[in-house]
Amino acid sequence: MVWKRSRKKQRGAELHPDEILLDINNLPQFDRQQFEGRMEQALSKRSFRNLFIVMMVVALFFVGRLGFLQIAHSAYYEQKSENNSLNHIAVFADRGVIYDRNGVELAWNTLGNDVVPTFRNYIPEGGFASLLGYVSYPAKDAKGKFWQTRTMGKDGVEKQFDTELAGQNGTQLIETDVNGNTISQGLIEDPVQGKNISLSIDSRVQSTLYNGIKDLAEKSGYVGGAGAVMDIKTGELIAMTSYPEYDESVLSAGKDTALINSYIQSPSRPFLNRLTDGLYTPGSIVKPFLALGALQENVIDPDTILHTNGVLKVPNPYSPGQFTSFKDNANHGDVDMRKAIAVSSDVYFYEVGGGFGSQPGLGIANIDKYADLFGIGQKTGVNFSGELAGTVPSIAWKAKNFKSDPVWHIGDTYHTSIGQYGFQVTPIQMLRAVGGIASRGTLLTPTILKSTDGKPTGPVVHLPFTDAQYDVIFQAMRMVVTDPEGTATNLQDPNIAVAAKSGTAQINNNTRVNSWIEGFFPLDQPKYAFIVLMENGPIVSSGAKYAIKPVIDLYSSQPDLHAELLTE
């Protein structure tokens, strides 16, 4: 009974004030920020019912929309998604135009079609392929997607200056249907045209030089040839050409596979730029440089007479009474330095180069020294890809390359003195070197870009010779043209005084020859240096001097070219 009364009292009992105050004091120290000590109250059934109704309405809306798209209009939207597509299409940039120094277009663009808006055109005159090179156009895969999205330079100037010439493609957004029909389009980014380039080349000189080389090769049986003309005050290449060559347009189009294969298989190597990439035995064109070395080293006075009779007989140290013979190109008799260069006496340079009897020689170390001084056997630094260095024979070079006979002999020095033995040079090296003589001591870096200020654009090397020493070489190289026995008398001209040095290098076990001509003009105030190599011709053939003659005639006959020389 007591327990029952107590429970009843608790249910109906009133709260006393002291109990309320106890609750306010939070004696249990509940964390009320975490809702401790609070009574929980369940959500009402009405709240659940309202939330359920809202969720059902949203779900029914999405179900209805899906039904509308996938059931009621499924065929329409399926056809539209299959038939239409959005593509980001490259808007091809126009490639920059290549000009010669006078503003003549050498490579330019012709309007193509909607897919590839331009195609490349090249000057039709021969002689420009190794200079300009060719391009490859944007290309598609089997699905019609472009895997190459721009025109790319593949050789020559087109390759060397591809970044500048290429420009930057734009982008167009195009919507097309399944048949390729355009539904809508919009330009996102405009294309940026490539930069135009002005070369140092004079197209008239270029064509004339090439035709001279081509005609001589075809007439005399040379495998190929190369030539160049350089401004000795700026290093600008006025002409640089190589024969034979390919058709730039054929290579760019890439469609005439039969002709392209014939280029690839040709033994005359039309892809070879012989001016910079070909290595050749120089022969007697090294003689002016070694003559300067002999003067500098006081090996011989330029007026000293040496007797030559067509052969130098050297006692054989291993066989007493026996001699080793070093032949000359002819019996030139008594010659001094000027005459020796004019008639290209080998015996004179055997003795000056290697020494004989009482005549001291430069020696192989000094031959190397002065060849190196003129940059022979070294890259010139021309802004054109593919340049090779070459070789100047030396004691170390022989020891490395001739294991069966590594010892250097006097005969090796004799042969090196006339540009034979292991000598290997590029034509552009010899052009730069003869430019160093013509300028009386300034060795420039060749360039194919037009100078904007008339000054050299690359490194300059100053040579240590005196004016008196240069005078001797000037006189000697002039005698090559004017002396009745000179080796390039065909270069005499009534308007322009030309100085030159020819060379003939025996190759293929002395069964074939390379023919050279180097020089400069006009004599009194030189402006241009030139070089021509004719490669691998018969022993009896017309020399390279006949290939450069048309260029001399051009400068002599063209009023503006001739006037430019006279005003210097």
Please spell the DSSP secondary structure of 209-236, one letter per residue: HHHHHHHHHHHHT-SEEEEEEEETTT-B
What mean pLDDT is predicted for residues 145-153? 81
For residue 181, the enclosing domain spans 87-198
Q: Are residues 491 and 532 in the same domain?
A: yes
Whether residue 309 is found in the same domain as residue 165: no
Q: In the prediction, which pLDDT does 561 show?
A: 84
On whether both 165 and 217 belong to a single domain, the answer is: no
φ/ψ of 470, rounded to 5, equals -65, -35
CATH of the domain at 227: 3.40.710.10
Is residue 58 situated within a structural domain?
no
Structural domain ending residue among the three candidates 163, 198, 233: 198
Q: What is the pLDDT of residue 1?
A: 44
Asked if 159 and 211 sit in the same domain, the reply is no
Among 198, 227, 248, identify where a domain stops: 198
Which DSSP state fits 70? I
Can you tell me the distance from the alpha carbon of 245 to that of 268, in angstroms, rounded to the nearest whole number?
9
In this structure, the answer to whether residues 530 and 402 fall within a common structural domain is: yes
Domain count across the chain: 2
Same-domain pairing of 194 and 207: no
Which residues, at least 6 apart from 247, have a Cβ–Cβ distance to it below 8 Å? 129, 259
For residue 470, tell me if it sits in a domain: yes
Q: Which two tokens stand for residue 242?
A: 């190589």
Hey, is 568 helix, strand or coil? coil
Q: Is residue 382 part of a domain?
A: yes
Find the mean pLDDT for residues 511-540: 95
Q: Are residues 321 and 234 in the same domain?
A: yes
Task: Output the domain CATH number for residue 114.
Answer: 3.90.1310.10
Q: What is the pLDDT of residue 3?
A: 43
| Whether residues 157 and 277 fall in one domain | no
Q: What is the tens place of the pLDDT at every residue in 351-407?
A: 999 999 999 999 999 999 999 999 999 999 999 988 999 999 999 999 999 999 999
Domain boundary among 198, 227, 242: 198
Quick one: 461 and 405 in the same domain? yes
The answer to whether 241 and 214 have CB atoms below 8 angstroms apart is no
Confidence band of 180 (pLDDT split at 50, 70, 90) = low
Read off the amino acid at residue 343. V
The stretch 312-323 carries a mean pLDDT of 86
In a domain, 488, yes or no: yes
Task: Tell whether 409 is covered by a domain.
Answer: yes
Q: Are residues 225 and 150 in the same domain?
A: no
Residue corresponding to tokens 């009405």:
46
Region 288-306: mean pLDDT is 98
What pLDDT digit, counting tens, does each position of 86-97 carry?
A: 666 777 888 999
Contact 364, 408 (CB under 8 A): yes
**Mean pLDDT (whole number) for 427-446:** 97
Output Rg (C-alpha) for the chain, integer angstroms: 42
- Residue 429 in domain: yes
84: confidence class by pLDDT, cuts 50, 70, 90: low
Looking at the structure, tell me whether residues 232 and 141 fall in a common domain.
no
User: Do 183 and 225 sit in the same domain of this protein?
Assistant: no
pLDDT exceeds 90 at position 258: yes
Q: Do residues 155 and 131 make contact, with C-beta atoms less than 8 angstroms apart?
A: no
Residue 341 in this model has a pLDDT that exceeds 80: yes
By three-state DSSP, how is residue 515 classified? strand
pLDDT at residue 7 greater than cutoff 50: no
> Is 59 a domain residue?
no
Residue at 434 is within a domain = yes
116-125 contact pairs (CB < 8 A, 24+): 116/92, 117/92, 118/92, 118/94, 118/151, 119/252, 120/95, 120/151, 120/248, 120/249, 120/252, 121/249, 122/248, 122/249, 123/203, 125/203, 125/206, 125/207, 125/210
The string of pLDDT tens digits covering residues 265-276 is: 999 999 999 999
